Chains A and B, each alone.
Chain A
Amino acid sequence: MHGVVPAEIGSLGKSEFEALKAQAVASRTYALKKLGGNNRGKDSRGFDIRSDIYDQTYHGRRENSEWAIRAVNATKGEVITFNNNVIECYFHSTCGGRTESGHNVFTNVQFPYLQGIADDFGKRDFCEDSPHYRWVEKINASELISSLREFGRQNNNNHPLAPGLFELRVSERFPSGRAKSVIIVDGKNNTIALEPNSIRPLFQNENRSLRSSLFRVGQPIDRGGNREIVLIGAGFGHGVGMCQWGAIGMSRKGYSYDQMLRHYYRETELKKIY
Chain B
Amino acid sequence: MLFSRLRICYFLIIMVMGPGCASTPRSERPTTIDESQFRKGLEYSRRIYGKPIDILKEEPHPLPSSREKPHSIASSGGKRSPNPPHLADGFAVQLASFQSESNANKFLIQQQENDPNLRLRIRRHQGLWRVLLGYFASRAEAERTRNKVRSLGYNDAWIIRF
Q: Do A and B come from one complex?
A: yes
* B16 touches A (CB below 8 Å): no
Q: Is the CB of A122 within 8 A of B42?
A: no
Given contacts A14-B26, A177-B52, A256-B32, contact A129 B45 (CB under 8 A): no
Given known contacts A131-B119, A253-B87, A254-B33, A118 and B51 CB-to-CB distance under 8 angstroms: yes
**A134→B111 CA distance, assembly (Å):** 11
A133 vs B40: C-alpha distance when bound (angstroms): 25
Given contacts A10-B20, A15-B26, contact A134 B112 (CB under 8 A): yes
Interchain CB contact under 8 A, A174 and B31: no
The answer to whether B116 touches A118 (Cβ under 8 A) is no
Nearest A residue (CB) for B117: A131
Does chain B have a CB within 8 A of A123? yes
Nearest CB in chain A: distance from B52 CB, A: 6
Q: Can you name the residue of chain B whose Cβ is closest to the Cβ of A249?
A: B135
CA distance A224 to B71 in the complex (A): 44
Whether, in the assembled complex, B96 has its beta carbon less than 8 Å from a beta carbon of chain A, the answer is no
* Complex interface residues of chain A between 227 and 274 (CB less than 8 A to chain B): 230, 232-234, 248, 251-256, 259, 262-263, 266
B120 CB to closest chain A CB, in angstroms?
8
Whether B53 and A254, one on each chain, are in contact in the complex, defined by CB atoms closer than 8 angstroms, is: no
Contact B81 A252 (CB under 8 A): no
Tell me the bound Cα distance from A105 to B152 in angstroms: 45
Contact B108–A134 (Cβ < 8 Å): yes
Contact A175 B64 (CB under 8 A): yes
What is the total number of residues of chain B having a CB less than 8 Å from a CB of chain A?
60
Tally A-B pairs: CB < 8 A: 159
Cross-interface CB contact of B62 among A128, A173, A180, A214, cutoff 8 Å? A173
Which of B41, B70, B87 gathers most chain A CB within 10 Å? B87
**Chain B residue with Cβ nearest A259:** B38
**Secondary structure type dominating chain A contacts:** loop
A122-B84 contact, Cβ under 8 Å, with A14-B25, A255-B38, A259-B38: yes
Q: Does residue A52 face the partner (Cβ distance < 8 Å to B)?
A: no
- Count of residues in A whose CB is under 8 Å from the partner chain: 57
For the complex, is A57 an interface residue (Cβ under 8 Å from B)?
A: no
Chain B residues with CB under 8 Å of A174's CB are 65, 68
A10-B20, A252-B30 given; A136·B109 CB < 8 A: yes
Q: Which residues of A are found within 8 Å of B69, using beta-carbon distances?
A: 175
Interface string of B41-70 (1 = CB under 8 A from A): 110111011111111101100111110111
Question: A121-140: which have CB < 8 Å to B?
Answer: 121-124, 128-129, 131, 133-138
Determine whether the beta carbon of A120 is less than 8 Å from that of B45.
Answer: yes
For residue A10, give the distance in angstroms from its CB to the closest CB of chain B. 4
- Residue contact A117 to B45, C-beta cutoff 8 Å: yes
Is B21's CB under 8 angstroms from A129's CB?
yes
A119: interface (CB < 8 Å): yes
Mark out the residues of chain A between 151 and 198 whose CB falls within 8 Å of any chain B CB in the assembled complex: 170-177, 180
Q: Which residues of B contact A13 (CB under 8 A)?
A: 22-26
Alpha-carbon distance between A244 and B81 when the two chains are bound, in angstroms: 25
Interface residues of B (CB under 8 A from A): 19-26, 29-33, 38, 40-42, 44-46, 48-56, 58-59, 62-66, 68-71, 81-85, 87-88, 90, 108-109, 112-113, 116-117, 119, 121, 123-124, 135, 137
Listed by A's residue number, 23 A-B pairs whose Cβ atoms lie within 8 Å are: A10-B22, A13-B25, A16-B22, A97-B54, A118-B49, A120-B44, A120-B45, A121-B85, A128-B121, A134-B55, A134-B108, A137-B116, A172-B63, A173-B56, A174-B65, A175-B49, A175-B68, A177-B52, A251-B30, A252-B88, A252-B90, A254-B33, A254-B87
Leading 5 A-B pairs by shortest Cβ distance: A122-B84, A121-B41, A254-B30, A14-B25, A10-B20
